[in-house]
Structures are given as structure tokens and as C-alpha cells.
Amino acid sequence: MIEILNPTELARAKDAGALVADILQTLKSRSAVGTNLLDIDRWAQDMIVEAGAESCYVDYEPSFGRGPFGHYICTAVNDAVLHGLPFDYTLADGDLLSLDLAVSKGGVAADSAISFVVGGSKPPESIAMISATERALSAGIAAAGPGARVGDISHAIGSVLSEAGYSINTEFGGHGIGSTMHQDPHVSNTGRPGRGYKLRPGLLLALEPWVMADTDELVTDADGWTLRSATGCRTAHSEHTIAITDDGAEILTLPR
């Protein structure tokens, strides 16, 4: 299903996007050496409920997961990259933490992810990998606009990641979003320009470049959810929800 939102729905999407961004920035500021992942999940739950929003994750039960997710945010540490199930883990200095959050407010969802290093240690390889995903995300957004095609976005993202030296996994990528969190079209993190669905004003897309330092192979954790690098290398993930407008693309998941 591909949804095209009307102006009223787009206004709600902006509200949901700003909420996601604000929660992520608050969680980032609270995530320090000694913070437990379960505390981060609890803080996310409190802020979602306080805002009168709904979690897109807690009851989420897709074919690739094991039962309902049961938590309010994805917390992926070091070799974990996607669908990180919060568990009893205390963050250490130098840990690379990715937070991925999706909420629905007013019947419209927004989705965003950030990666950062906890504490005072800043491993150069981790910082470079995070930067690559952020640059790829910016390139993908710049390639989006009315009349462009999904392949234009995928090509822009993939070009940045490849030039930075990373191999690209195509099992998971960006996606349409609207009244539900995951919709068509699928937006791969690499592709050929000029191919795929033609973008129209009112379309929402969640673009999410992610990479692993030395592999493109994933393994599923024993928890049935968390996806990790097959080699145990570190990973990074950046994501924004954007709206296609008459003039280009508007990022909805920026802090207010």
C-alpha cells in the first residue's frame, strides 16, 4: 500500500515527526556510561504516553520477528544494527549506540534513528561510520522530490556508502510510512537512478542508511529480533522521515 497524505494528515505527520526527534534527542542526552538499556526504553515509554502518542513497536509482530516486540524503542549496541531489543545491559565508555524510534500521533506515524558514541572515548572508525550514514541520508533526501524516482534516492545513498568503503546489505532499507509504520515503496540503500516508483507530493518516506564496518551479512540474535553483524564488527544507522512536497522534500524528524 502506498498512501498520499492530504494537508491535514501532513500537519499531523509533522507533529509526530517533531515528537520522535525530541524524544531521541532527550534519550541521547541521558544515555551515559552506566545507563541501562531498559531505562532508555522506560524513558521512551514515559515520553510517548505523556505526549498522547502511541508506540509503533510495542505490539509490532512482523514475519521477521519473534512475537510482539514488547518494547518502545530499538536499542542497538556495537555489533547490533537493526531491531535491537532492549535488555539488561549497562552502557560502557566507547559503546556505539543506535536508537530507532517510531510513534504514531493523530493517526500518522513518523520514524527516525540516530547513532552516537557513549562517554568520552571516540573511536575514529565508529565516528567515520556514523558520519557516512549521515552523509548518505543527506544525499538521499537531496535526491527526493516530485517526479524523482525511488531509484534516484537509492543510488544517492548507495554512492556515498560505497565511496566510504562500506558494502551494502539490501535485505532491509527505507520504506513508505503514513497511517502505519511500514508501507510501500521499499527504498533500498543502493540502486539504479531512474527506476522505481515516481514520487508524488504528499508521500512520506522513512530513509535509513545503515552499514556494518567489514561485512554486509546479518545474523539474528537469540532474542529473535536483534540483527547483528555476522563478523561482530561495529555498525551505524541514521534515519529521517521526509515528506515529498511540491518543491522537494521536507525533513519531519528534526528537533523543535
CATH number of 7-251: 3.90.230.10
Cell numbers linked to 21: 526527534
Give the Cα separation of 49 and 186 in Å (integer): 30
Condensed to tens digits (0 to 9), the pLDDT of residues 206-245 reads 999 999 999 999 999 999 999 999 999 999 999 999 999 9
Q: How does the average pLDDT of the chain come out, rounded?
A: 97
Q: Is the pLDDT of residue 1 over 90?
A: no
Q: What is the pLDDT of residue 64?
A: 87
The three-point CA angle 19-24-25 to 5° equals 100
Distance CA 141, CA 252 (A): 11
Query: 180 pLDDT exceeds 90?
Result: yes
204 — pLDDT class (breaks 50, 70, 90): very high
CA 125 – CA 47 distance, rounded (Å): 33
Give the closest residue to 169 by CA, choosing from 133, 131, 203, 223: 133
- Give yes or no for a contact between 25 and 31, defined as CB atoms under 8 angstroms apart: no
Residue 98 burial by Cβ neighbours in a 10 Å radius (0-12, 13-18, 19+): buried
The pLDDT assigned to 256 comes to 80
β-pair type (96-105, 54-55): antiparallel
